[in-house]
Amino acid sequence: QVQLVESGGGAVQAGGSLRLSCAASGRSGYMLGWFRQAPGKGREFVAFIGWSGFPTHYTDSVKGRFTISADNAKNTVILEMNNLEPEDTAVYYCAATRRSWTTRAVDFSSWGQGTQVTVSS
């Protein structure tokens, strides 16, 4: 089972940037994704990246603002978040799945502890 540890959350003003990291031990063959959960809402898919760095896929609300990438030498997946909006405020979770293409949280078998992102207007 893959072990996931997120880091890099914080508080920024609207228009700012943050970089989230997910250290993934034993991730060979897993696709990694980012989800987020705002207070009172369900867990929402944000982006995923395949084991080899391809494919990548984003939810529509973050396209053009967020970029997901993988550093396999460091077993790390990065989520670069630019032009942040207050609506991006949530706890962000890294997750892993054996599936090759899915945005459903139920398909992800391993989860990190989450990291808080707060964007003020």
| Measured distance CA(107)–CA(24) in Å, rounded | 17
What does the buried/exposed string (b/e) look like for 13-26 if buried means 16 or more CB atoms within 10 Å of the residue's CB? Answer: eeeeebebbbbbee
Q: Are 54 and 68 in contact (CB under 8 A)?
A: no
Which of 24-33, 81-90, 94-103 is least confident?
24-33
pLDDT, position 22: 96
pLDDT tens readout for residues 42-76: 999 999 999 888 899 999 999 999 999 998 887 89
In this structure, the strands spanning 90-97 and 66-71 are: unpaired
pLDDT, position 96: 96
pLDDT, position 71: 86
How far from 121 is each of 17, 86, 87, 104, CA to CA, in Å? 13, 6, 10, 30
pLDDT, position 48: 97
